[in-house]
Chain A
C-alpha cells in the first residue's frame, strides 16, 4: 500500500532508487511546485548562465554594456533635470541611477518571466519542468544585472561626493523585498500571458505609465501635496525608497515605508505563487 512517504519527486536525482510518480499522491500544488523547483536548482543556474552568456557573447563591449547603459541614461537625465528643470534634489545623479537600477530590476524580471515562459512552451509540452522555473530564471538574470549596475552606481557616488556609509550593508534587504514583489507580479503575469497573446504588449505600456508615476527620475516633492497619496499606494515607490535610503541618507527609510515594502513583498509573492501553481499544469497546453 502507498503511504504519504511515497511522495518522491519525479526527478533523475533519485534514479538510483527508482522514483515513483503517482498522480493520486500529489500534494498541495504550491508546496510541490516549491519542492520541484529546489530539485531543479541546477537547471535554474544553467538557464541564468545561458541568459547572461548569450547576452554578452556576440557584443563587443560584453558585460561592460550592462554597466554603461544605465550610466549613459543617468548622464542624459542629470543633464536634462539638473540644468533644464533645475530640481532641488541633492545628489541627483546617484538618486536617479539608484532609482533606475531598481526599477529596471523589477521591469526586467516581470517582462522576462513572460518571454521565458513562452520560450519554454515547447519544452513544457514534452518534458516535466517546474513551471515556475521560468519566472525564477528571469528574476535571477535581472538580479545579476542589478548587481552589475551597483558598480557604476558606487563609482558615481564617489565622484559626486556621496559618502559610502556602513548602511550599505543593509542593501540586500531592499533588494530581497523587491525581488519577492517582482516575482509575485511576474508569476501572475505569466499565467495570464500564457492564455492571451496581447498581455506582454499591454503590460509594457502599463509599465511605462507606472514608471512615470513613480518618483524615479524626478524628486517626489515636485508632485503637488494633494496627489502624494498616489505614492503611498504604489509598492514600487516604497521599495525604491528603502533602496535609496541606505545609499543616500545612510540609514533605513521611515518605518511606514519599510512596513509597506515588507507587506507588499510577502503578500504579492504569496498570492503570485498560489495563483500560478494552482493552474501550472494547464500552462503546458495553453502555450
Chain B
C-alpha cells in the first residue's frame, strides 16, 4: 500500500473524538447531523380540526429532512459562508449552531459565546425608551443586568443616540433603531458571530463603522458564519464556503470553487424538495439532480468575405448607405469593411457571445445541418441574429420587429447579402395573435423579455409559435424565495420566484428597447419555473464561454433553452 492511497482514504468516523480533544482551533463542529421535522401531511390549522381528524384517525404524519448527515468544522477566526437556496438547510444549520434547534441525530458542538446579528429591532419595544430597550435587548441576548450596566455607555456612544436615550423607541428613525440593535448585539466580542443575509444598517458612514467593528472582531479571533443568497458576497469576503442543497452539504472549500459548482449545478435543480412520507424506514438521501447544461463551443470565425473589389456596384452602394448609419451591431459588410457600432467594445462583445451560445444550442439539438429549420427572431432589431441564421443556411428566417426604422436597416443588410430565405415583419410581440401565424421550429428572443410589461403573456405566445426550441436571453432580476401569507395567517403559499417591477419611462423614448413605460422582469428561477409551467418539457441554461460578457458570466443575464 502506498502512502497516497492511505491518505486518500481517511477512516471516516472513528477519529472524531481525537479531533475534539486535540484541535484547539475548532469552534463549531457538526458530526453527522440530521434534522428531521415531523409534521401532519396536510396542514391542520385548528385544534377543532385536529381533534376531529384524530378521532377519525385521519392524521397522517410525514417527515421532512431539513438536514441530512451533515458534518462540518469551523475554525477560530475564519469567515465561513453558507450558500444554497431556500429550503436547502442553511437556516437549519444556523439554528443548530445557535442552539435554537436540537439535532435529531448526530452531534453539535460549539465552543464560545455566540452573537446573532438580528434583523433590525427584533425584540425592541416601541413604547419603551432607548435605555430600557438596551437592557431588554441585552438580557435577551443572554447578558446579565449587571453586565449591561457596564456596557451601557459604550453602546450608547457607538449607536450615536446620546440625546434620545430616554425617548420612546417609536420616536426613533429606522436608522437609529438599527444602529442601536447593532450596538447591543456587538457590545462585546463574541467568539462566533452569525450574520444572516447582508447587513445594512443606517448610512454609509455607520456601515463603515459596523464593518470596522466586525473586522476588528475577526482579527481578534471571532469566527463569522455568514448565510446569504449572494454568491458575489461569499466570494468577496469569505475564507471558506459550503454549498447546501436539499439538506445536504454538497461541498466545502474555497469560495470561488464552491460558487462555481453552485452556479454550474444549481440553476436547474428542482426547487425545494417535497416532504417525504413516513414509512418506518430511514429515508434514503437522494442525490441532488445534476441539471443539463448546454456547453458553448468556441466556433470558427464567420465565412471568408469577398473583398472590396469583388462586390458589385449595387452592393457597394448599399454598403455606402450602411456606413453612414449608426448601428447597434458590429455588422461585417460583404466587402470586408465593418459598420461602426455605437456600443463600447466591452459591451459589443455580447453579440458575438450570444451568437456563439445560440449556435451551440442549435447544434446540440439539430446537429450542423439547419437546412430544414424555420426560425423566428422576435425583436430582431437591426436583424443581426436573423441575418446570421439565414447565412448559416436555415430554410426560412423571419425577423419580427416593432420599429420600422430597424426593419429598414435590417433590409439593407439582407439585400447586401441577397438573402432570399430571410424576411422581416413589422409587429409587436405583445399584441401578436399566434393563430394568425405559422409555427417555427426555432424561436429566439434575445434581450427582449426584460423590456416587457406582460412577460407571461408573451411567453405563452412564444410557446404557441414554437414547434421545437425556444431560446431566450435576458437579464434577470434578483429573487426572493420562501412563503407568503395567503388568505389568512394559516394558509401559506410557496413562492416559485419573483418579478422585478421597473420604470422604463426614459428608455421607452429610445429607439431600442421598451415600447412601454413599465416592465416586469423575472428572476432566473422564476423564468425557469414559468417555462416548465407553460408546458416546455425541458428547460436548460446555456453556459457562457469563460471570457464572455460579464453579465453572462456572473449570471445576472442568462440564456435559456426550452424544448417543447
Residues of chain A having any CB pair with chain B under 8 Å: 1-2, 10-13, 15, 18-24, 26, 39-40, 42-43, 45-47, 49-50, 53-54, 57-58, 122-129, 192, 195-199, 202, 281, 284-285
Contacts and interface: CB of A to CB of B under 8 A. Distances in A.
Given A12-B141, A20-B110, A123 B17 contact: no
A26 B128 contact: no
Interface stretch (B115-123, B294-302, B366-374, B510-518): B115-123
B108 A23 contact: yes
A127 B114 CA distance: 9
A23 B136 contact: no
Contacts of A285: 37, 95, 101
A284 B145 contact: no
Given A22-B109, A50-B136, A197-B489, A12 B143 contact: yes
19 contacts: A1-B17, A1-B21, A12-B113, A22-B107, A40-B142, A47-B136, A53-B128, A58-B127, A122-B122, A123-B140, A126-B118, A126-B119, A127-B116, A192-B47, A196-B47, A196-B50, A197-B45, A197-B490, A199-B47
B261 interface: no
Given A22-B109, A127-B140, A196-B45, A281 B122 contact: no
B69 interface: no
Interface string B381-395: 000000000000000
A197 B488 CA distance: 11
Q: Is the interface of A mostly helix, strand, loop or mixed?
A: helix
A10 B50 CA distance: 36
B45 A123 contact: no
Contacts of A13: 142, 144
B47 A26 contact: no
A184 B344 CA distance: 73
Centre residue among A15, A24, A54 by max chain B CB count within 10 A: A15
B551 to A, nearest CB: 35
B98 interface: yes
A201 B125 CA distance: 25
A127 B45 contact: no
A126 B114 CA distance: 11
B112 interface: yes
Nearest to B140: A43
B147 A54 contact: no
Contact of A54 (B103, B125, B145): B125
B102 A19 contact: no
B323 interface: no
Given A12-B144, A19-B111, A126-B118, 13 more contacts: A19-B112, A21-B109, A23-B102, A23-B107, A43-B142, A54-B125, A57-B128, A129-B140, A196-B47, A197-B489, A198-B46, A198-B47, A285-B95
B487 to A, nearest CB: 13
Given A22-B109, A23-B103, A197-B45, A2 B20 contact: yes
B108 A126 contact: no
Nearest to A122: B122
A52 to B, nearest CB: 11
Contacts of A58: 127
Q: Which of B112, B127, B140, B191 has the most CB of A within 10 A?
A: B140
Given A23-B103, A123-B123, A196-B46, A128 B108 contact: no
B188 interface: yes
Nearest to A203: B47
B135 interface: yes
Nearest to B27: A18
B474 to A, nearest CB: 36
B125 A50 contact: yes
Contacts of B102: 23, 26, 281
Nearest to B29: A22
B509 interface: no
A253 to B, nearest CB: 35
B: interface residue count bin: 35 or more
Contacts of A198: 45-48
B191 A18 contact: yes
A33 to B, nearest CB: 13
Nearest to A18: B112
Interface in B6-59: 17, 20-21, 37, 44-48, 50
Nearest to A20: B111
A281 B490 CA distance: 21
B100 interface: yes
B98 A126 contact: yes
Nearest to B144: A42
Interface in B141-168: 141-145, 147, 168
Interface string B235-272: 00000000000000000000000000000000000000
Contact of B99 (A10, A15, A122, A195): A10
Contacts of A26: 102
A20 B100 contact: no
B139 interface: yes
A24 B135 CA distance: 33
Contacts of A42: 139, 143-145
B132 interface: yes
Contact of B101 (A47, A196, A284): A284
- Nearest 10 pairs between A and B by C-beta? A43-B139, A196-B47, A12-B142, A128-B99, A23-B108, A198-B46, A42-B145, A24-B107, A54-B127, A21-B110
Nearest to A14: B113
A45 B144 CA distance: 11
Contacts of A23: 96, 102-103, 106-109
B446 to A, nearest CB: 44
Interface in B354-402: none
A46 to B, nearest CB: 5
Contacts of A199: 47
A15 B123 contact: no
Contacts of A54: 125, 127-128
A53 B142 contact: no
A63 B101 CA distance: 39
B137 to A, nearest CB: 9
Nearest to B136: A46
Contact of B188 (A10, A15, A122): A15
A15 B46 CA distance: 43
A232 to B, nearest CB: 28
Contacts of B188: 12, 15
B279 to A, nearest CB: 22
Contacts of A39: 142
A123 B140 CA distance: 9
Contacts of A49: 132
A81 B430 CA distance: 77
Contacts of B111: 18-21
Nearest to B38: A282
A159 to B, nearest CB: 35
A18 B221 CA distance: 13
A10 B115 CA distance: 12
A214 B16 CA distance: 61
Nearest to B146: A42
Contacts of B119: 126
B128 A50 contact: yes
Contacts of B136: 46-47, 50
Contacts of B145: 42, 45-46
Nearest to A280: B102
